[in-house]
Amino acid sequence: MSATSITRATLFKDLRLEWRSKDAINAMTFFSLLVVVIFSFSFNPTAEESRLIAGGLVWVAFLFAAVVALNQTWARELRNQVLDAYRVSPAPAEALFLAKALGNFLFVTVLEIVMTPLFVVFYRLRPLGTGWQLIPVAVLGTWALVVNGTFFAAMSIRTRSREIMLPLLLFPISIPALIAMVEGTTVILTGDASPRPLIVLLAVYDVVFTTVSLILFEKVLHAE
Amino acid sequence: MTLALLSYALYEALVAAPTEQTMGDVQRIFYYHVPSAWTAFLLFLINFVASVYYLIRRSDRADIIALVSAEVGVVFCTVVLVTGPIWARPVWGIWWTWDVRLTTTLVLWLIYVAYLMLRRFSSGSQTPLVAAVLAVFGALDVPLVYFSIWYFRTQHPSPVIGKGGSLDPRMAHVLLINWAAFLCFAFLVCWSRYRLERVRRDVEETQALEALLEPRSVS
């Protein structure tokens, strides 16, 4: 089997699992809904203010929600020793990692598609800049979170108290991506400046960390 | 020797160095702040190199060096983050500002604290590998952090920063002596911590071996 077909097989397996259980999606959506409601109670912003804070709000909600899905990525494979089976199988580790990262990417994207209208309604958002530029920011930003998150989730299942370990590793490393996402969104919403340099920064971040993850994942998978 | 150098550096910093014109004696904290920062950055660099070396060669020594340099680096980085605000309060009038250098140092500190937490929480034989991987991620992250914050802050310029101008050669002299002293001190701490870690690992290994042998000797 080629690496592509392994990636596809693993990805479809995960999607089917998720489609039947809907664990990750339900937990993430409800979690971010709670964040939206609680934030709007705590700040009670006007339309002008919410334009300034919404970028940060949306991404913090998505980041926290994504951790829920990311934690399950590998923990699910620990039951029935599936992870050990991966380890002894001759399938390339990169293909497995890519499948997992793509799966998480799809989950978080679905979450974003579901939640964005709610954000718009609750916070009365209307972008003053060019709205379609939110799409590259969202896609690159989501990939940045997910690629590192999938990698660190694989690392944190090797620790005690793994549920706590993932955010502890992910958040410090994601700071540049988070800044670029939040700033990019805010700039588009307020229409103050061009988000182009931020999109470039996100792209660089994605390229760097995708490469490193693909190179180092094999070592983490086979760590003993 | 380290002690002598440290006390000489202390004397130079507190007494011999000329008092800065506008800031007064508060400026003397500079002789601790800057050398600590340089030492911390150097230690983090050592950590990165040792981690990469570990990933390639799987050498136990490289792992201990990485651990030790991260620990001591975090301590020096803490010194930087503590002395900075003490100086900033009288000079800038505020404790903290989200300036690019301050923020980058803070993020650096966060990354390496996460590194140490990972080492704490992970179990047994996987620790060095997982930690080395994280160290590589962290080191790659640093330039990105710098650029992102640089961009972030040029969007919202902060009113306070005013660095630049030249340094009095006598001050530079004191600064370098302090740095030498700090480096010696850091090296000394690292070295003793290295020995301690080695002994600890040897003891653990012996205990594990004994535990293996014990039931056999009973039966």
Model pLDDT for residues A174-209, shown as the tens digit of each residue = 888 888 888 888 888 887 777 788 888 889 999 999
Task: State which residue of chain B sits closest to A160, comparing Cα positions.
Answer: B121
* Integer Cα distance of B198 and B99 in angstroms: 40
Residue B202 — pLDDT band, cuts 50, 70, 90? confident
Q: How many CB pairs under 8 A join A and B?
A: 93
Nearest CA to CA, how far is B137 from chain A (Å)? 7
* Domain count across chain A: 1
B150 vs A: CB within 8 A: no
Q: Which domains does chain B have, with CATH numbers?
A: 2-190 (1.20.120)
Q: Residue B72: pLDDT above 60?
A: yes
* Contacting residues of A for B122, CB less than 8 Å apart: 158-160
Out of B134, B136, B148, name the one closest to residue A169 (CB): B134
| Number of Cβ atoms within 10 Å of the Cβ of B89 | 13
Whether B133 sits inside 8 A of A209 (CB atoms) is no
Task: State which residue of chain A sits closest to B136, comparing Cα positions.
Answer: A212
Angle separating helix axes A23-43 and A47-78, nearest 10 degrees = 150
CA angle B49, B55, B61 (to 5 degrees): 70
Whether B129 sits inside 8 A of A172 (CB atoms) is no
pLDDT recorded at residue B158: 47
Q: What is the mean pLDDT of residues A83-89?
A: 80
Q: Who contacts B117 (Cβ-Cβ below 8 Å, separation ≥6)?
A: A165, A168
Residue B161 — pLDDT band, cuts 50, 70, 90? very low
pLDDT greater at residue A70 or residue A123: A70
High-pLDDT (> 90) share of chain A, %: 8
Q: Residue B21: pLDDT above 60?
A: no
Q: Which of A83, A85, A103 is nearest to A11 (CA)?
A: A103
Nearest CA to CA, how far is A173 from chain B (Å)? 6
Any bridge partners for residue A159, and if so which? Answer: B122
Structure tokens at A61: 């909600």
Q: Residue B2: pLDDT above 70?
A: no
A203 vs B: CB within 8 A: no
Find out whether B57 and B101 touch, Cβ atoms under 8 Å.
no
Out of B118, B122, B148, name the one closest to residue A180 (CB): B148
A220 vs B: CB within 8 A: yes
Residue B34 — pLDDT band, cuts 50, 70, 90? confident
Residue B152 — pLDDT band, cuts 50, 70, 90? low
Query: Which residues 128-167 in chain A show a CB within 8 A of chain B?
Result: 148, 151, 155, 158-161, 165
Whether A212 sits inside 8 A of B130 (CB atoms) is no
Average per-residue pLDDT for chain A: 84
Find out whether A152 and B141 touch, Cβ atoms under 8 Å.
no
Q: Residue B38: pLDDT above 70?
A: yes
> Which of B127, B130, B153 should one mutate to test binding to chain A, selecting the residue with the greatest count of A CBs within 10 A?
B130
Domain that holds residue A215: 3-221
Q: Who contacts B4 (Cβ-Cβ below 8 Å, separation ≥6)?
A: none
pLDDT greater at residue A99 or residue A124: A99
Residue B20 — pLDDT band, cuts 50, 70, 90? low
* Contacting residues of A for B140, CB less than 8 Å apart: 208-209, 212
* Integer Cα distance of A208 and B144 in angstroms: 10
